[in-house]
Structure 1
């Protein structure tokens, strides 16, 4: 019992730190849309999609390999750590140097002429991230959850501080006459540069702290450890690339696939900024799913040997769908309120109509996570690779086909289509290899009903009074009443058990 309590406590710490960090980063969109123009926000969207993609290449599955070979392989964990960290530092020097030297070419390719420095800074950000990956993994392996969470939060707070300093406070000091433009090389006309620099400073400053917490390592490249680790990590690299393609490729390619003057008065990069902001709003669903993953993953594995686990997994899935469906309605019907709070720039609400589609896409991703338990407990993880790869191909085909024709809607549909296909494939093969009695028909009804109510509330034109707020949010109550009616037998049984107890 003490082991389970310890695991649950650490899960809560990891989950809370991750959700808090993501929430703070999410709130940064308020700063960007208030103080930067849409083209800068578009640059931020595209460059950070590139960073997310390249981060998989820089770490190439070594975190998971480190966990695998530090436990259950009869190897000295310290020796594995030294070798893994040494290998990652070596490969980071090679990859980082290559990206640094290729920066002028990349700047021209991605339409940032004369701004090669952006991609040199990108190379440094990726390099700092990569050399921190294994120390952070060691903190987790050593059950030092508070040290891990503390380092992550310090990194996020440093990032926020430098963003505020460079984007908000310095311009205010200049406009108030307290500082001259050009002081310490500061340039008022920079935008995405300061987002990257804030990230770079925060990552660079956290390295000594993390290494102090973990302890320094001895440089060692043990071939007997590297060979099997390399073999183990390569499939993870391709799985990661396929997964990040599904998540980020629409943001990376949007501005390059959108025809000129598709949206009058907006450049393709400015339109990409609006599109990326809508994605940020939909990621509210992802925050909930991330919290669920931290709590559910150890729970799922802990119950895998129980003969009643399939029935338990089905109940968890059903509750998850009901909760997230209600959340989808709540976000969709209150988008006008969210728009009032942030983003602050004009025109961002022009793409809000795609948010319910994106919310449904991320909800399906959460369902996929629930479904994926079958190949995790049966050691058939090869299905994960193939399903993710199919999702990546579907995503690419949809993006190249739909974005030039439908713009924002095409980008949103690519996300929805990708996760719908992945969910359907995972369900189909899961029921063949590890049958779980999901309430499939009823779940589909809830999803379709929630999606319909989300759009009904979004398009419902009411004033901004308390009456309008209550009228829109009554759709959430309507959904829950319908769920209560359909679930009356389960609720009766639950209330009956409580009464007996």
Structure 2
């Protein structure tokens, strides 16, 4: 119980910072949908999907490899830190330079003629992200959750502030005559450009702070240390590529797969903007998963030598399912006011019906993360590649066949289907090689009931606003009652433990 309390405490710190940070960042959805065109938002969706994909290439699983080797016996964690950071700096500079030089070709390929500067900025963003990966990982390993959270929040504040300044402030001041035209070369017709530029500046400014807090490193690339780390991380690279394909491919390909005029009055790129904006609403679930991952990954590795670790992993999974199921219901039944609050221009609400499916997809992603601990602690990371490759194939298949028929829902179903398949396969092999006593039947029951309540609450509608709000949110009651009945023995043990 004390171990779970420790995990919960770390998750709470990461979670509060993530929720605060994402809430601040969430304001950007309001800014983008209110001040930018749907075409600009479609560009934002596609380019950031590319960034998410290439982020995996630039870090190639070295974070997880760092956790594995820094917590290993007979190894100096500071030496592991210095060597992994040195390797990432070298590789990110090489790959960043290559992408920078290839920007004109990439711009033409993605149908952004004459805008190669977008992809030069993308190369710099990816390089900055890569050289921050290991220092952030070290902060997590050393349980410096507050320092980690502070650095993330500073970056978010800088990014949001620059977005507001460049997208709202400058245009208003130029139009009202407070600032002259072409002030500092400002371009009134830019949209996605200022999103990328804000991200680039914020990431660049935070590097010295994070490096200082993580501790400066001595440059070194000893083959005897890096080779086993590379062998461990290489399958994780392919796992990451397949995994990010599952998560981002629908947004990256949506505008290219969707037939023209599928949605009357919207081009394919504009429809991609609507799809991407609604995808952002599901990030409320993803930020909880991210917070859990920040805390759980180093924690799980540290506990892997404990003989009771399988039981601990099962308890963590069960608590995760319960919490995230409640969150899924709470978000889904309130989408009728959450949607209009953040999607500020007409037309975006047409895609709200996909959000419960996306929430369930992200929940399954969190379950997969819990399940995946077996191949990380047993050094069977090659399984990760085949599992996530299968998920990627499922994702691509669903996108290709369902987006032309179902539009937004086809894209959402690709997320749900791939993480469902990955979770099932990962569970099957995990129970063969590293059995964990998961409460599978109970967990599946909770998930199915929560999903039914989520969609029922989304489509429920009453004329009276307050009555509508109360009835929708009352759907949480039957689920909570189900949890209380299902966890009766656990709660009684907990009550006894507290008394003693």
Structure 2 residue aligned with 1:17:
17
**Secondary structure of the equivalent of 1:187?**
coil
Kindly state the Cα deviation for residue 67 of structure 1 after the two structures are TM-superposed. 4.2
The superposition leaves residues 84-123 of structure 1 with CA deviations (integer Å, 9 ceiling, x where unpaired) of 4443333223211211121111111111111111111111
**2 CA distance for matches of 1:497 and 1:420?**
37
Partner of 1:40: 40
> In 2, distance between residues paired with 1:156 and 1:170?
20
Q: Any unmatched runs of 5+ in structure 2?
A: none
Alignment correspondent of 2:256: 256
Deviates more, 1:240-249 or 1:14-23: 14-23
Query: Residue 104 of structure 1 corresponds to which residue in structure 2?
Result: 104
With over 3 angstroms needed to count, the CA separation of the structure-2 counterparts of 1:73 and 1:377, relative to structure 1, is: closer
- Distance between the aligned counterparts of 1:76 and 1:268, measured in 2? 53
- Provide closer, same or farther for how the CA distance between residues 134 and 475 of structure 1 changes in structure 2, counting only shifts above 3 A: closer
CA pair 135-362 structure 1, distance change in 2 beyond 3 A? closer
Is the CA contact (8 Å cut-off) linking 2:236 and 2:384 kept in structure 1? no
188 and 452 in structure 1: CA distance in 2 versus 1, 3 angstrom threshold: same
- Separation (CA, whole Å) in 2 of partners of 1:440 and 1:453: 20
Q: CA deviation at 1:337?
A: 1.0
Corresponding residue for residue 341 of structure 2:
341
Aligned-partner Cα distance in 1 for 2:266–2:275: 12
Q: Is the 8 A contact 1:398 1:410 kept in 2?
A: yes
Is residue 2:389 matched to residue 1:389?
yes
Distance 2:460 2:4 in 1: 47
Change beyond 3 A, Cα 1:208–1:348: same
Does the 8 Å CA contact 2:52/2:244 hold for their aligned counterparts? yes
Mapped partners of 1:255, 1:475: distance in 2: 36
Q: How does 1:149-298 map to 2 (within 5 A)?
A: 149-214=149-214, 217=217, 219-297=219-297
Deviations along 1:439-490, one digit per CA (max 9) or x if unpaired, are 4334333322222222222112223521111111122223333444x52753
Change in 2 beyond 3 A, CA 1:237/1:299: closer
1:320 aligns with 2:320: yes
Contact 2:4 2:316 in 1 (8 A): no
1:308 deviation in Å?
A: 6.0
Separation in structure 2 between the aligned mates of residue 38 and residue 192 of structure 1, nearest angstrom: 11
Which ranges of structure 1 fall in alignment gaps of 5 or more residues? Answer: none
The answer to whether the 8 A contact 2:251-2:272 is kept is: yes
SS in 2 for 1:263: coil
Give the distance between the partners of 1:143 and 1:215, measured in 2 at CA.
14
2: CA distance, partners of 1:211 / 1:492: 44
1:150 & 1:243 partners in 2: Cα distance? 28
Counterpart check, 1:120 vs 2:120:
yes
Normalization by structure 1: what TM-score?
0.89
Cα distance change on mapping 1:312 and 1:58 into 2, 3 Å: closer
Shift of 1:318: 3.7
User: Per the alignment, in what secondary structure is the counterpart of residue 423 of structure 1?
Assistant: helix
CA contact (8 A) 1:19 1:290 kept: no
Q: Which residue of 1 aligns with 2:486?
A: 487
Q: Is the CA contact (8 Å cut-off) linking 2:235 and 2:381 kept in structure 1?
A: no
Q: Given that residues 70 and 80 in structure 1 are in contact (C-alpha distance below 8 angstroms), is that contact kept between their aligned partners in structure 2?
A: yes
Q: In 2, distance between residues paired with 1:125 and 1:295?
A: 25
Alpha-carbon separation, structure 1, partners of 2:473 and 2:156: 33
Alpha carbons 2:82, 2:220 under 8 Å: kept: yes
Q: How many Å apart are 1:281 and its aligned residue?
A: 0.8
Equivalents in 1 of 2:473, 2:272: separation in Å? 30
Are the aligned partners of 1:15 and 1:294 in contact in 2 as well (CA < 8 Å)? no
Farther off after superposition, 419-428 or 217-226:
217-226
Q: Distance in 1 between matches of 2:490 and 2:236?
A: 42
| Distance (Å, rounded) in 1 between the aligned partners of 2:384 and 2:302 | 21
Q: Are 1:279 and 1:355, in contact at CA under 8 Å, matched by a contact in 2?
A: yes
CA drift at 1:150: 2.7
Where does residue 399 of structure 1 map in the other structure? 399
Shift of 1:340: 2.8
Per-residue Cα deviation, 1:380-439 (whole angstroms, up to 9, x for no partner): 443333222211221122112221221101101100100110111122223333444444
Q: Which moved more, 1:449-458 or 1:310-319?
A: 310-319
Is the alpha carbon distance of 1:5 and 1:250 closer, same or farther for their aligned partners in structure 2, counting shifts above 3 Å? closer
Paired residues for 1:129-140 under 5 Å: 129-140=129-140
Secondary structure of the residue aligned to 1:188 is: coil
3-state SS of 1:123 partner? helix
Number of equivalent positions: 500
Query: Residue 158 of structure 1: CA displacement?
Result: 1.0
Q: Which moved more, 1:255-264 or 1:128-137?
A: 128-137
